[in-house]
Amino acid sequence: MVGRRLLSPADIGELARRYQIVPTKALGQNFVIDQNTIRRIVRLAEIAPGDRIIEVGAGVGTLTLGLAEAARQVTAIELDRKLIPALNEVLQGTDNVEVVVGDAMDLDFATLVAGGPHRLVANLPYNIATPLIADLLQQRPEIEDFVVMVQREAGERFVAAPGSKAYGAVSLLVAYHAQARLLGKVPASVFWPVPKVESLLVRLTRIQPPADLEGPELMRVVRAAFSQRRKTIRNTLASGLEMQVGEVEAALARAGIDPGLRAEALGLPQFARLVRELR
């Protein structure tokens, strides 16, 4: 694989013509056609020669080629069966890539990541980015690191800090499982077709959650707190957890949290204290 040429826009256009490929909005398909962007993703992901990579949404293999050159092994997942002949052609002679045809939301990731740590590096289809990341963070600790290109709105939620407009339940789910870092913006012009939104490149590096705080327990309280963003945390928790206001106020007082605050003002440490007091 060493030295294999990345696909150019002309190469992708020729593949699209021969295989009659038309990206569909329903599948969230926007293919990266810029070689510099592919090199940038691989560089910022800091892929080591021994890394085992999972790519979701391989498309016609534009990013797959760059990943395969840098990593030990790549598992390239693609849902659209119409793309598989083109993908197989592009990867012909590349012996460290396994193509898996299927929906990433339904695949058996336990089998895919068997045998040790993996990383996920992908231009994620817009329509599955948030639920897929949430599922894998919660269910597949074997995936130790994520470098993903996602729609700006999703990326901002992943890295959002308390008090920001994008901050919400997903932000806290990410913070519980990983350290989130924004790697940069990705202009719409590097995609085909050109989307109407900007994309972000985000890195999520898994951390060890607090030993005495279970994820499902935390998220039950977080989702209740964010169920009505305009209301105070006193009221949202009382209704969301079906508790008496007095009980909630007492737990908030023990946790040192002002009951008049809204959920977006609280970070993970505050929610962790609150969960412990609500027990």
pLDDT tens column, 194-226: 999 999 999 999 999 988 899 999 999 999 999
Residue 115 confidence class, pLDDT cut points 50, 70, 90:
confident
Mode of pairing for the β-strands spanning 97-101 and 118-123: unpaired
Helices (H) and strands (E) in the chain, counts: 12, 9
The token pair that represents 51 in the structure block: 């890394």
Residue 166 has pLDDT above 50, yes or no: yes
How would residue 275 be classed by pLDDT, with cut points 50, 70 and 90? very high
Cα angle value 117/65/19 (rounded, 5°): 125
Look at residue 4 in the predicted model and tell me its pLDDT: 65
Residue ranges of domains in the chain, CATH in brackets: 9-206 (3.40.50.150), 215-278 (1.10.8.100)
* pLDDT value, residue 210: 87
Position 2 pLDDT exceeds 70: no
Amino acid at 212: D
Closest CA to 200 of 259, 126, 266: 126
Query: Are 224 and 231 in contact, with CB atoms under 8 Å apart?
Result: no
* Helix, strand or coil, per DSSP, at residue 197: coil
> What's the mean per-residue pLDDT of the chain?
95
3-state SS, residue 143:
strand
Sheet holding 143-151: strands in order across? 97-101, 73-78, 52-56, 118-123, 143-151, 199-206, 178-186
Q: How far is Cα 188 from Cα 234, in angstroms, rounded to an integer?
A: 42
Which pTM was predicted?
A: 0.94
Judge whether residue 144 has pLDDT over 90.
Answer: yes
Q: Cβ neighbours of residue 180 under 8 Å, at least 6 residues apart? A: 158, 159, 174, 202, 203, 204
Which of 69, 65, 102, 105 has the alpha carbon at shortest distance from 83?
102
